Amino acid sequence: MGNRSLLIDAASAELSEHGLDVSIARIAARAGVAKGTVFNHFSSKEELISAIFCDQLDTLAATGETLLEHTDPRAALLQFMSAGAELQANDRAFCEAAAATSRAHPAIRAASDRLAQVAEALTARARQAGVVRADVTGHDIVLLLNAPTRIAAPLAGARSDLWRRYLHLIFDALRPEAGHELPVAAPTNADFTTAATR
């Protein structure tokens, strides 16, 4: 096993436990290499984090693609959102990265687009089945994925399952019966592009 894999493994573990602020020194020590070696494989700390973050986005997108086979469109969408929120509940860095990471990085853009596409497919099925309000889009769902863990974050130490409460509260907001007209239009692909190039 090469040092690159050792670094990815060490970084995944440290990031998951301690969040994005974990030091390069700690990651290098856990991988059993010198600090400088990290920059032999990744041009910056951000690049190392991006590599791991992309893998996690791809895993979630794959989960979503599997759920497209599910016969119940409403259950499929709920399970997709549940999977996204749970990944973040179990991984501090994933939760922080989902909120903070810009889409400027090309690899993150690609993974993010793949995720947006599967989210839109799942949402479209649920919309057609009449179980989700007509004005909610796949982009909305992607942005909503990290809401439950962030809402519950201040109490994560005391109530580790609290994010499930807010996942279901938000899911209730998606029901057709819930719908007042929303005051601002859904985000578009162009919005993501603009935000990425700032």
Partner DNA sequence: ACCTGAACACCGTTCAAGT
Q: Is 5 in the site for DNA (CB under 7 A)?
A: no
Q: How far is the CB of 94 from DNA (least distance, A)?
A: 17
First and final CA of the chain: distance in angstroms? Answer: 39
Q: How far is the CB of 121 from a copy of itself (least distance, A)?
A: 21
Binders of DNA among residues 12 to 51 (CB under 7 A) are 22-26, 33-41, 43-46
d(CA 115, CA 13): 24
What, of a copy of itself, DNA, none, does residue 59 touch, CB below 5 to 8 Å by kind?
none
Q: Which residues contact 90 (CB under 8 A, 6 or more apart)?
A: 16
d(CA 91, CA 22): 13
Q: With the C-alpha atoms ordered 154, 159, 27, 12, is the resulting torsion angle positive or negative?
A: negative
Task: Return the ∠ at Cα 92 (arms to 73 and 35), rounded to 5°.
Answer: 135
Nearer to a copy of itself, 39 or 192 (CB): 192
**Position 109: which residue type?**
R
Token couple for 133: 């309000």
Nearer to a copy of itself, 22 or 31 (CB): 22
Q: How far is the CB of 11 from a copy of itself (least distance, A)?
A: 21
Nearer to a copy of itself, 4 or 103 (CB): 103
What, of DNA, a copy of itself, none, does residue 129 touch, CB below 5 to 8 Å by kind?
none
d(CA 22, CA 20): 6
* Residues at the site binding a copy of itself, with contacts judged by CB under 8 A: 99-103, 136, 140, 143-144, 146-147, 150-159, 161-162, 164-166, 168-173, 175, 177-180, 182-187, 190-192, 194-195, 198
What does the binding site for DNA look like in residue numbers (CB under 7 A)?
A: 2-3, 22-26, 33-41, 43-46
